[in-house]
Structure 1
Amino acid sequence: MSTLQDPGASSPQLLRRANRQALLQYALRTGTFSAADAMTTTGLTRATVLGVCADLHGAGWLAEVEPDGDGTRRGRPARRYELRADAGLLIGVDAGEHTLAARAVDLRGRELASEVETVEIGVDDPGAADARREQVRGLLERLRARSGAGSAHPLLTVVGVPAPVGPDGLSPHGEAGYWPVMNPDLGGALNGEVLTDNDANLAVTAEHALRGGEHLATLLMGERFGAGLIIDGRLLHGALGGAGEMRFLDDVLVDSRGADGVAALARRWTTTALEAGARSPALEAIPADRLTAVDVFDAARAGDAVAQRVLERIGERIARIAGILASLLGVETVVVAGAIAGAIGPVLVHAREALPQVSSAPYPQLVASELGGDVVVRGAVETALRQLRENPLEVLGSHG
């Protein structure tokens, strides 16, 4: 068979696909519309618009609605259509080490249901990857049941994991096996299309949707620091999804645990201070294995000198990281995000004061996220919605 005939042979199918794509993109951007409305925006002919609308109506993606008007106009009223927002589900998941959170939205982004549960199995426990996969699957089954979506298909599930993610959706074998456990091939375990990405990448996507900016970093706090990076308006992934990994901090900061996040730093530096003889009645009363960053922040707010010094050290650590990101990548804004972001204000005061001492101008703006613990799941939903708006036929897939 001559390959020269293939483009001509497939052109009607390609044209039909392009027309469907254009009409769906328009329907996703607007409310109720007529053929004339769609013609003006898409540039398609009336016959093409009517044909594609009938096609999409038959496929279940468009609904025909009652025509506008008071009945005084002569002639047959124009048919009007709108997107069937309830025809499919988009799901965002934050698959953290200790907590799973998920949210289901319709095709307009309206929330239908959410679920949160604790991860009981440890990273080093036998069968941890399989158990984690099953727990995520069970969580999403409950989420779908609660969504009230009936027979609506889960079209796209976006999952954030605390690990770098390569183009194949898998994580490299690093961090002593931690990464593969955090990302146990969820794409092969869940229904519908699945997109897995690093949690900090989804966090910066959420922040970018909220505040904009061409050169933005989100520093996701927790047990470890991770950075999501938008440079020149584009999300950076890097080889094997490694952009934003902070392992280099071990060397730069001359600290074998330089990438420890706020939660780990607060525990470590508080425990070290107390073991060295510092006095803190409030913190000494808490067993070391139960001490949390919230405890340290509360003590600092009450005037505890040990806790306040720990907060100052965390602020200096954040300043050094922000200075590195600004110098290396030209980042203009660093958003500090995570569940504790609402209480991070005093730390950022110290970080801003420390910036001129630990780095060179121009200094990035340091701000706290307003999205709290929802930042990753919000970014996952935003990613799913962007995929739908940019390429609806790819998201609809076999269901379209």
Structure 2
Amino acid sequence: MAVPAPLSIVARSALHLRDVGPATVSELSRSLEVSRTSVETAVGVLTQAGLVADAPLVPGGGAGRPARRYAFQSDAGAVVGVDIGVASIRVVVSDLGGAVVAQRTFDGVAGRPDGPAKLAAVIDDIRRTLADASIPASRVRTIGVSLPGIVDDAGRVTASVVIPEWSGIDIGSQLRHAFGCPVAVDNGVRLAAVAEHHLGVAQLVDDVVYLSVGNRIAMGLILGGQPRRGIHNAAGDIGRLAFRGISNETGQLLWRTAPTAAEVFALARGGDRDAQAELDAFIEELSHGIAMLIMTVDPAMVVIGGGLSEAHERLLDPLREALPRHIRLPFQVPLTEARLGAEAAAHGALVHAFRRHPGEVYGLDDMPVPPITPLPHDAAAPDTTEEKK
């Protein structure tokens, strides 16, 4: 993994004020181990850019006037993350310090008649979220987008079996035109993996397999601390190949004893033998596929997300029991439930926006992604979808 270049003194000063808190020039100078003159110059640049302003003075023990303090202006702008799905559209908005200040969930694009109508719904949902939070669209500095499909590095949808009308369409360019700011687009499962690595269950782990198990099975890879795209941007699109019993056309999971996985689990929990047998066969097949991924990548952790992760230990315990039978080596890879649940991809889109466009967010090309602080569950806006994703 390439060693990142050292941050500039301006970026280091901004980083300290953003992530640590207000400070004087002397405090910054000591903390950063650079001269007062360098810090004064950096603070001047940041003040002129609107990222830093005077903080309330803190009375000292001496007789003189307290030293001037500076604070990062997190409310100087906003960053948006949006996760687009057929069943739901999730929008999160953060300030420049990474604190989520607004979050909404809307009906997905499934009911829209065509590609333009689906895009119009996404634009309207973003605007409604901003309006409800009293955030002018002009304050949005960049937007991150998560969607189902193979997305190239420029943000064009190469292929999507879930939203086929968008295949070949530059969704990022359409949203840039609508909001007048840079847009970063990527695959939803990859961005869910990014979120679990940045603020979820895998924060301290640099080699992670994130497996989304829901209506479909897909994978996101974090290798060396970075999301793996692959030369054709298709890394992780393994559901139709690595797991049998899946519709080859759409990648949809097919169930025999009930229409949905939730109903199969409910029947099995109630003692239905056929449903239990179907679940046992599914878990055996899933564990075999996960074992293949483990032996291919040799990750430090496997994270299970997606809708079926809501089965919790009824899914994870049998998987943990089955994996050693397939791997048969003297080590175990931790298999963990995702922490962020259905909110993962939207928060991953937020991280992606900060990472891809730091210059537009901060005016500094070397500014790192902030720690993302989600809203407490009881503070999020009510779910307006009829059916959750």
Q: Same fold (TM over 0.5)?
A: yes
Write the distance in 1 (CA, Å) between the matches of 2:301 and 2:130: 37
The answer to whether structure 1 residue 149 and structure 2 residue 138 are counterparts is no
Aligned with 1:375 (options 344, 351, 365): 344
> Residue 382 of structure 2 corresponds to which residue in structure 1?
none
> Residue 117 of structure 1 corresponds to which residue in structure 2?
106
Write the distance in 2 (CA, Å) between the matches of 1:367 and 1:117: 28
Count of residue pairs brought into register by the alignment: 352
Change (3 A) 1:360 1:198: farther
Q: State the AA in 2 paired with 1:97.
A: V
Write the distance in 1 (CA, Å) between the matches of 2:100 and 2:78: 10
The answer to whether structure 1 residue 334 and structure 2 residue 302 are counterparts is yes
Identity %: 25
Write the distance in 2 (CA, Å) between the matches of 1:25 and 1:175: 41
Greater C-alpha radius of gyration = 1
Residue 66 of structure 1, CA deviation: 2.3
Aligned with 1:42 (options 24, 32, 54): 32
> Residue 264 of structure 2 corresponds to which residue in structure 1?
296
> Residue 47 of structure 2 corresponds to which residue in structure 1?
57
Residue 221 of structure 1, CA deviation: 2.2
Residue 74 of structure 1, CA deviation: 3.7
Deviations 1:194-219 (A, max 9, x none): 11111111111222233321321110
306-315 or 348-357, which deviates more: 348-357
For residues 78-227 of structure 1, what are the structure 2 equivalents within 5 Å?
78-121=67-110, 125=113, 128-150=114-136, 153-173=139-159, 175=161, 178=164, 180-181=166-167, 185-190=171-176, 191=179, 192-209=181-198, 210=200, 211=202, 212-227=204-219
Aligned with 1:353 (options 311, 318, 321): 321
Q: Check the 8 A contact 2:209/2:220 in 1, yes or no.
A: yes
Cα root mean square deviation, aligned: 3.0
Write the distance in 1 (CA, Å) between the matches of 2:170 and 2:106: 18
Q: Check the 8 A contact 1:102/1:143 in 2, yes or no.
A: yes
Q: In structure 1, the residue corresponding to 2:232 is in which secondary structure?
A: helix
Q: Check the 8 A contact 2:288/2:323 in 1, yes or no.
A: yes
> Residue 277 of structure 1 corresponds to which residue in structure 2?
none
Write the distance in 2 (CA, Å) between the matches of 1:22 and 1:194: 25
Write the distance in 2 (CA, Å) between the matches of 1:159 and 1:374: 13
Residue 122 of structure 1, CA deviation: 5.4
Scaled by the length of structure 2, the TM-score of the pair is 0.80
Q: State the AA in 1 paired with 2:62.
A: R
> Residue 319 of structure 1 corresponds to which residue in structure 2?
287
Write the distance in 2 (CA, Å) between the matches of 1:346 and 1:254: 21
Residue 138 of structure 1, CA deviation: 0.8
Residue 144 of structure 1, CA deviation: 1.1
Scaled by the length of structure 1, the TM-score of the pair is 0.78
Write the distance in 2 (CA, Å) between the matches of 1:177 and 1:121: 8
Change (3 A) 1:356 1:53: closer
For residues 233-312 of structure 1, what are the structure 2 equivalents within 5 Å?
233-246=225-238, 249-250=240-241, 257=247, 264-265=252-253, 268-270=254-256, 273=257, 291-312=259-280
352-361 or 364-373, which deviates more: 352-361
Deviations 1:75-129 (A, max 9, x none): 4432111001111112111112321001111122222111111125458x4xx22
Write the distance in 2 (CA, Å) between the matches of 1:185 and 1:178: 13
Residue 177 of structure 1, CA deviation: 7.4
The structure whose residues are more often helix, as a share, is 1
Q: Check the 8 A contact 1:93/1:101 in 2, yes or no.
A: yes
Deviations 1:224-251 (A, max 9, x none): 211111123332111232111115x43x
Q: State the AA in 1 paired with 2:91.
A: A
Where structure 1 has 5 or more consecutive residues not aligned to the other structure, the ranges are: 1-16, 274-282, 284-290
Which has the bigger relative contact order, CA under 8 A and spacing at least 6? 2
Q: Check the 8 A contact 2:86/2:110 in 1, yes or no.
A: no
Change (3 A) 1:332 1:59: closer
